[in-house]
Structure 1
Amino acid sequence: MARLSTAFVVLAALCWGLSGGIGGMLIADSWDPIVVSFYRGAIGLVFVLVWLAVRPQGSGLGSRRLWGWSLMAGLGVAGNFTFYFLSISEGSVAVAATLMYCAPVFVFLVSFALRLERPTPLKWAAIVMVMLGIVLLTRIYDVQPGGVTPIGVAAGLLAGLSYAVFIFGFKYAAPHGSPQAILAIAFSALAFILFWLGDAGQTLAVLSTSSWPLFVTLGVLGAGLSFIFYVVGLNYTAPAVASIVAMVEPVTASLFGVVVLEESLGAIQLVGMALILITVTVLSVSSSGR
């Protein structure tokens, strides 16, 4: 059962990685990042509503705390999707995915501020190493025309910060209800927020465009199946193992960007990417192993 659960986590990370590449294709076709994010979340909402209907036991939908924390998770996932695709539009899939992978660093910083986690020299050293990796990956010291823009860098980091908000919201909602109920509320909030923030004309145009299969694939892989795989897989997967296999997401997204979208990364950028991926993984493993 443990191996099967780990496989579910790997599949979730693989789906998230592919969704970044698919989102990059849609954005390259001039679709607005908010519209792309809306359909990713709205299609995911359909899946979790079906999951909730099939498994309604212990939903906790009558709990105010469940609703409060789940709405917070919804704000987090809405920001994560939107900033991630905005970062892709201002840079590349590889850079955006790697910057978003910095989410555990934000979790630690928030935990330090709230005194939920005790800062140690090792953790601070890891955070400094990640910051160095970000500088090398984005080449923020030498921005070139056509390269990663400051907006792209900021959006990528905000995607990571938003994911940290989702993690906290989901964590504190979990004792009050089922995962499917939490995700149903979160994705409903996402759909409501992004529908009103997005371009109404583009949002409706998706329904009649030839690109609709890509939108459906994005929603199914990026939010529908992936979140279900991840939640189910975590039930029997050690946190340390989950932290390691999560690397599948940025690696898959980066390969998609290079192979399919013909993006390129310089040697210095590859060093920065490796520095971020390795440091964040070690940081996550060491924390979950305590």
Structure 2
Amino acid sequence: MPAATPFPRHIAALILATLACSFAGNHIAARIAFDHDTGLLLAMLCRSGVTLLALAALVLWRGESLRMRHQTWAWQLMLGLLIAVQSFCIYSAVARIPVALALLVVNLAPILLALLTWALGGPRPTRRAAWLMGLILLGLMFVLDLPRQLSGPADIDRRWIEGVLFGLIGAAAFACALWITGNRLSGMPGAVRSMLTMLVVFAASALAGAGGLLPGGMNLPSATAGWIALGCLVLLYGVAFSALFILVTRLDIARNAPVMNIEPVAGLLFGWLILDQLLNGLQMFGGLLVVSGIVLLAYKRQA
């Protein structure tokens, strides 16, 4: 089969930016759904289930094989569980703190991945990469408004602490998932790997819900707005995730992937327009540092 012709770079960048906005919109919809009593596990179950169906249809259409070695299945199971943890953590963060703030914290994953790769025998981060990581951490300090939080006389809000911690755990889980993908499952077709990952997420969400591990985790929305938001988060995530794998061979991901880092920027804009969530000037400056550092770090890796 001949290789697919890549889109012109400006078209590929526009598509990736649209997908990033769709992922951001999924988290905005999730916050609305949670504000109307939707269970977190229910949201994960619906999102992963619909995406699983779309990816299964894609795998069947392409006629891709599911035959793998026993060891590969073990790594695939671990990948799925890590993505389940990441999904749970980012939704937990979104339910507690502004969406843009949660997404910026989770975007620490590239730094954690670089450090994890180094710790497991990979290349040591270059001096420039270390400076960019420092820039990202400095920006995150401003995003979290740490100077004011630590100097203020009042106690730090408990939900704020929980949201930030969930974001950090989600970033760590995603970094581990990226390492497994790149170092243990890179030979698998992307659609098959993603389909099996969604299958594990779906099964883990169903088992956790059936076992009552999270009180209220399977609650139905209490209002029409909650149902609409639940439908929107499923649609936005499912379409974006599936489209990414359908079009991946034409998007020249190696060159254009940094465009996806506009997701927290889109989260900030949507959070302001839809949820009336607005970061202060110093936090927005920190967000600019974080996004800029991540984009420069990604371009450096490709060089």
Whole-Å Cα distance in 1 between the matches of residues 129 and 218 of structure 2? 46
Match of 2:54 in 1: 47
Residues 190/100 of structure 1: CA separation in 2 closer, same or farther (3 Å cut): same
Equivalent residue for 2:200, pick from 162, 165, 189: 189
Change (3 A) 1:147 1:130: farther
**Residue number in structure 1 paired with 2:21:** 14
Kindly tell me: are residues 260 and 70 of structure 1, through their superposed partners in 2, closer, same or farther at Cα, counting changes over 3 Å? same
Equivalent-residue separation in structure 1 for 2:291 and 2:14 (angstroms): 20
Describe the shift of the 1:77–1:283 C-alpha distance in structure 2 as closer, same or farther (beyond 3 A).
Answer: same
Alignment partner, residue 2 of structure 1: 7
Q: Deviations over 1:22-70 (max 9, x none)?
A: 111112212233332232222211211121222223x343333442232
Match of 1:206 among 220, 234, 242: 220
Q: Which amino acid aligns with 1:156?
A: G
Runs of 5+ unmatched residues, structure 2: 1-5
Aligned partners of 2:39 and 2:220 also within 8 Å: no
Letter in 2 for 1:93: V
2:180 equivalent to 1:174: no
Distance change >3 Å, CA 51–CA 255, structure 1 → 2: same
Larger mean Cα displacement after TM superposition, 112-121 or 1-10: 1-10
Q: Distance in 2 between matches of 1:64 and 1:8?
A: 37
Identify unmatched segments of 5+ residues in structure 1.
none
Matched, 1:95 2:101: yes
Pair 206,52 (structure 1): closer, same or farther in 2 beyond 3 Å = farther
Q: Distance in 1 between matches of 2:47 and 2:253?
A: 28
Cα distance change of structure 1 residues 251 and 116 upon mapping to structure 2, 3 Å threshold: same
**2: CA distance, partners of 1:260 / 1:208:** 20
TM-score by length of 2: 0.84
Q: CA deviation at 1:209?
A: 6.9
What secondary structure, in the 3-state scheme, does the structure 2 residue paired with 1:91 have? Answer: coil
AA in 1 matched with 2:141: V
Structure 1 pair 49–271 and aligned structure 2 pair: CA distance change class (3 A): same
Alignment counterpart, residue 220 of structure 1, candidates 214, 235, 241: 235
Shift of 1:157: 1.8
Contact kept? 1:140, 1:150, Cα under 8 Å: no
For 1:100 and 1:85, locate their aligned partners in 2 and report how far apart those are by CA, in whole Å: 11
TM-score (norm 1): 0.88
Judged with a 3 Å threshold, the aligned counterparts in structure 2 of structure 1 residues 207 and 277 are, in CA distance, closer, same or farther, namely closer
**Does the 8 Å CA contact 1:9/1:233 hold for their aligned counterparts?**
no
Aligned CA RMSD, in angstroms, stands at 2.5
The 3 A distance-change label for structure 1 pair 212 and 148 is closer
Higher mean alpha-carbon deviation, 251-260 vs 161-170, is at 161-170
Are the structure 2 counterparts of residues 127 and 12 from structure 1 closer, same or farther at C-alpha, using a change threshold of 3 Å?
Answer: same
Q: CA deviation at 1:148?
A: 6.4
Tell me how far apart the structure 2 counterparts of residues 147 and 133 of structure 1 sit (CA, whole Å): 22
The code of the aligned residue for 1:31 comes to T
